[in-house]
Structure 1
């Protein structure tokens, strides 16, 4: 992928293994299916889902309550003999096709491949047409909070819990991240901390909003200069009810006033020559090949006195031998997003019943 984390979904009878991206920022589960237009099916030589080859696959009828219920999830169902879907993402990319159901399975935690948990009647989008760049994946596993996400569909059986530990970007290709569901999604130990998932009528019900209250760089609080008062102010008001954690976004994107203040603070603390953009990143330094230079740590402070201390590899990216770049950028809007690069090597638990995220 290109900064995405993938899982293999076992679906159908007999089972077909389909690699798909995990995304906490959306709800729909969809896979590239046979007869798909603009799907670039041979890009990686990976398989797609052949619906005709699965004896348990069924197209969803138009009169199904599940079909009509998809409108509240923003999936835009319509009827053409059977239920169809259309789903659009924030970058303008789209997927559309048939709404189907089939059997899926997951390997039981700590057990061999032949010990699996099966779930029948799982609803998903069988993609027949795509718009945008989907070459990096054969589908997408929505883990959002609305009704048709994977965690909501299986919630009664899995306790509405999931967790993951994303391996480092620098890990070898053989290294695997882990997604845990149900009872296996647990954090233990005296150092586990939890912060609430925020809800509200004005917040997107799909997304996992968190209360990011402040940021420090090298122990120094990031502050925003208020032109009206002529004083520095905390970043908290710029982030309150406007910050989400998302596995499907690569770099952390901060609302412009906060990002500019953070950028300035890092420039002041890193005594190295700055460079132009590199690999699409805004703030880069000439390290002369020495990444052991004392780059500052970054700490995010969340509600419930939760501190997330980010090490070098979660903050900076070595884009070439002599270039080190900040792996964060401006979101260009009010919303701030904590991306997967900042989440790597943390075990993160989402508990939808307790309405909290734990680290």
Structure 2
């Protein structure tokens, strides 16, 4: 973010100030108001007419309604250990709105031309991985709290195959090349494949760009095509009923399947497994799909349906897995 931010609680955390004595570190890009990014949510704005040389104004919007307006700039980024990456193009936001509170910025990890992995691809051999810890870790005692991590370079994907590692080929969408698509071939609940979740239902149609499943660290809850979600939910409800779980009426927010677990210290729940192309199976821990939503002991099934045309594997389901992205063409996503 940059100075003069109109809507943001980020100002005390990090400010990029392109003052004369800092020009070597932060360079505002100048031009006629046109960006070269091929990204549907990045828009160039009309140039400001102020009698002085102006930067390229941009507006970046996100699926959750968050947005930032500001200028294009380049920056030298320095990582732990002294690794420096020069001339990274980034947005210098003046007006940041939505879910940016308490964050100093946003690191783009997509496949688009302006993402950090793409810009720094040669420096890090086009490889990176990340591991997201449980979202409640930040509220744990300091001695037990864990932090999430992101690794760039060859260390992100060890050459030796580790136990519990699953890889699946990535799929490219020519209509939306910024996302990481994987092929989900099915889902199992309680050790039985869900009949209503078919490979064809979740397959990407390259001709239209619709369908398919993306892995997205910026989306919290996994969302499946409406009919696939209904089949998964019903299978889970049936298994949960057999395990003695009691439904909580009314649902919660976007969740329509919740349970009253007040007073319980341990419960048995049906297992949930994602089946991926290439024969990989990802067995989710129970805390990745049955999550607390209040202090009264209400837990909800952390999946939802969508009519948007694309299904999403969200970050709640990714917790505790190291998600790996490798290369640009023959890419693979792995979890350890």
TM-score (structure 2 length as normaliser)? 0.84
Alignment-derived partner of residue 72 in structure 2 = 99
Is 1:54–2:33 an aligned residue pair?
no
The partner residue of 2:281 within 303, 307, 316 is 307
The partner residue of 2:226 within 232, 256, 260 is 256
Gaps of 5+ in 1: 1-31, 108-114, 225-233
Deviations for 1:121-176, whole angstroms, at most 9, x for unmatched residues? 11110001234343242321111101110001100111111101111223245421
The partner residue of 2:55 within 82, 85, 95 is 82
Q: What displacement does 1:63 show? A: 6.7
Whether the 8 Å contact between 1:297 and 1:310 is mirrored in structure 2 is yes
Alignment-derived partner of residue 238 in structure 1 = 201
Deviations for 1:264-311, whole angstroms, at most 9, x for unmatched residues? 111111122211223653211122422522101100000000100001
Alignment-derived partner of residue 11 in structure 1 = none
Alignment-derived partner of residue 315 in structure 2 = 340
Secondary structure in 1 matching 2:137: coil
Larger relative contact order (Cα-Cα within 8 Å, sequence gap ≥ 6): 1
The partner residue of 1:324 within 262, 281, 299 is 299
Secondary structure in 1 matching 2:232: helix
Structure with the largest fraction of strand: 1
The partner residue of 2:3 within 10, 34, 41 is 34
Q: What displacement does 1:198 show? A: 0.5
Whether the 8 Å contact between 1:291 and 1:324 is mirrored in structure 2 is no
Deviations for 1:176-226, whole angstroms, at most 9, x for unmatched residues? 111000122124434322111101324x101001000100001121122xx
Whether the 8 Å contact between 1:289 and 1:323 is mirrored in structure 2 is no
Q: What displacement does 1:331 show? A: 2.1
The partner residue of 1:122 within 85, 88, 94 is 88
Alignment-derived partner of residue 230 in structure 1 = none
Deviations for 1:321-340, whole angstroms, at most 9, x for unmatched residues? 53221111112332111011
**Separation in 2 of the partners of 1:83 and 1:220?**
54
Alignment-derived partner of residue 138 in structure 1 = 104
**Separation in 1 of the partners of 2:304 and 2:289?**
11
TM-score (structure 1 length as normaliser)? 0.79
Deviates more, 1:326-335 or 1:98-107: 326-335
Alignment-derived partner of residue 207 in structure 2 = none
**Separation in 2 of the partners of 1:61 and 1:344?**
41
Alignment-derived partner of residue 192 in structure 2 = 220
Whether the 8 Å contact between 1:34 and 1:51 is mirrored in structure 2 is no
Correspondence 1:167-186 to 2 at 5 A: 167-173=133-139, 174-186=145-157
Please provide the CA RMSD for this pair: 2.1
Residues 291, 281 of structure 1: CA spacing in aligned structure 2 closer, same or farther, 3 A cutoff?
farther
Q: What displacement does 1:349 show? A: 0.8
Whether the 8 Å contact between 1:289 and 1:321 is mirrored in structure 2 is no
Whether the 8 Å contact between 2:226 and 2:306 is mirrored in structure 1 is yes
Gaps of 5+ in 2: 49-53, 140-144, 205-211
Q: What displacement does 1:68 show? A: 4.2
How many residues matched?
306
Alignment-derived partner of residue 51 in structure 2 = none
